[in-house]
Amino acid sequence: LFGASLSLMIRMQLGHPGAVFLKSDWFYNVVVTTHALMMIFFAVMPILIGAFGNWLIPLLVGGKDMIYPRMNNLSYWLSPNALYLLMLSFSTDKGVGAGWTIYPPLSVYPYHSGPSMDVLIVSLHLAGLSSLVGAINFASTNKNMPVLEMKGERAELYVLSISVTAVLLIISIPVLGGGITMILFDRNFNTTFFDPAGGGDPVLFQHLFWF
């Protein structure tokens, strides 16, 4: 609902030329950024991977539950906390207006000098950890739990697709985590991973992010 209301605000702003529904260009950027992150990390991923995976995998491998139920619980509870931090970043200082890809130099000083970007980065860390823990659980369940008639090439196509997705998440989420940690360090600890003045390269973040 929060993401959909942000989408509605964008539509109202773009509904006619010279619209002044959102009072500043900066706030428009904040709304667009938060909308995209909300829909990707807190609508699409938890529903398509988390919810459907948890519902269908036990049915399709002949099990009562996932192989690590407590790990599953951890994955679930990290998500609302990450969501809370994302909403907090929206209302902290001036908000995050760097676009959902949070490219440097837009995401570092002087463009985002307040704490909102740091809050967002912690939120993405928690969301990534939630995905990572869930993916490990899915992959382990699909590898170890199926009854004999549902193993290997006899598995449902959905189970195979979730297994592939889980492996891709396990490979890629730590890279995203590393990239946003480097932004955090550039912002707070005087590193220059993405600052050409210190031998860094802003395009490096694009490589890490899109991997």
pLDDT tens per residue, range 44-64: 999 999 999 999 999 999 889
Domain ranges of the chain: 25-210
What is the tens place of the pLDDT at every residue in 143-169?
888 888 888 788 889 999 999 999 999
CA distance 44 to 34: 14
Residues 6+ apart with CB under 8 A from 191: 182, 185, 198, 200
Mean pLDDT for 4-26 is 88
CB 93 within 8 A of CB 111: no
Residue type, 62: G
What pLDDT does 31 receive? 94
Tokens of 101: 């890809």
What is the tens place of the pLDDT at every residue in 81-112?
999 999 999 998 889 999 999 999 888 888 88
Name the E strands within 65-114.
none
